[in-house]
Amino acid sequence: MKLYIKTKIYGFFNKYKIFKENNNLKNINFNNFIKIHKNYRFLKEFNKITFYFLLLISVLILFLQISCSLIYAENIKDQSINKNNKGNFETPSTVLKDNVNSSRTENSKSDFFNKENQTEFLNDKTNSTSKEDDLNKSELYENENFKDPGFTVVKVIDGDTIELKNKMRIRLIGINTPERDMYFYEEAKEFMKILVQNKQVKLEKDVTNKDIYGRYLRYVYLPDLFVNLEMIRCGFANAYTYPPDVKYTYKFLEAERTARENEAGLWQKSPTEVLNITLNYDAEGKDTENLNGEWVSIKNIGLKSLNLNGWTLKDAGTNIYKFKNIIIKPQEAIFLYTGFGKDTNEKLYWNLDTPVWNNEHDTLYLRDEKGLLVYIYNY
């Protein structure tokens, strides 16, 4: 123990001697050296702690950067696989859900991407997709393969309604043709007969199964023809959008636009072009409580009086108003109100107990006594 103390004392004085010689401090006394030595040791220990602390921080930052990089790379890899293979390389197992949604995968194996497993998976996936498509079609379509004689058209009621051998009465979705005694009623009916009479048809459902009259709402197909679309395209029907059955609305509207441009069928124009029409389709308050808040104004902007006898005004649906002995003088206008009232020379009343014009979208058609299109307003 004594030897250890002597050695420590000797070492300390030796440091004192070396410190004086190295720093050329001839006048430094022993007490000052003690203070300097303590400060030096403190600074040395502090610097050591600071060094290890900064090193630890650097290691943590590096670890976080590496972790983030790995996670990002893994996500990019997964996205690339899903994009290129559209989910084909997720697992060989598939689950067919009750609502016939597409099969999806959950797990993967470490050796999955070898050629043998990949080929096996593709075969399984193809078979599963094929089964799923069959189920989807069986829900959407009736007589898909045109092999059921019960789906033969035995009667054409009018341009948008047919009857099948199996007693199904079909109202074609998304179209509307003229009613009986209206312009182009017979033409639309005859054209429908030419298309489907005594032929098997395929039917496609949308959302609603039947309308309020018990008719089945369907899209109708021949092997090489979409009948609903053809009726509009050839000008025998107008597009008639009635939610929620709107699957082919944009196709139907585009076909109607083309037919109008070509003045096909219903869209043949009248030479009368001296009218200005204003439609107030959104009544103030509740439409059902303010029926006369819906009105149509027809103004004669020509130089001669205009006789509207036999003219018709119609919406996109089945609401039709027929004018009787109404004469509009030049620069004057008449008003047609949806609700009840007593007719005058300037104010006419449709006398309906329900609104005519949809607030979201509808179409107004004005035709002359020959049924030719005078004016169309679409909103």
Question: Residues 90, 204, 215, 294: which is the catalytic one?
Answer: 215
Question: Is residue 273 annotated as a catalytic residue, yes or no?
Answer: no
The answer to whether the beta carbons of residues 336 and 351 sit under 8 Å apart is no
- Annotated catalytic, 179? yes
Which residues have a Cβ under 8 Å from the Cβ of 17 and sit 6 or more positions away?
none
| Distance from C-alpha of 243 to C-alpha of 233, rounded to nearest angstrom | 21
Q: Interior CA angle at 169 toward 240 and 150, to 5°?
A: 130
φ, ψ of residue 348 in degrees (nearest 5): -120, 150
Residue with tokens 């030897």: 3
Identified catalytic residue from 139, 179, 263, 360: 179
Catalytic residue among 90, 171, 230, 233: 171
Name the nearest CA neighbour of 360 among 379, 378, 337, 339.
379
Report the alpha-carbon distance of residue 89 to residue 121 in Å, rounded.
8
| Residue of 318, 317, 357 lying closest to 337 (CA atoms) | 357
Integer Cα distance of 56 and 211 in angstroms: 75
367 among known catalytic residues? no
Cite the active site residues.
171, 179, 215
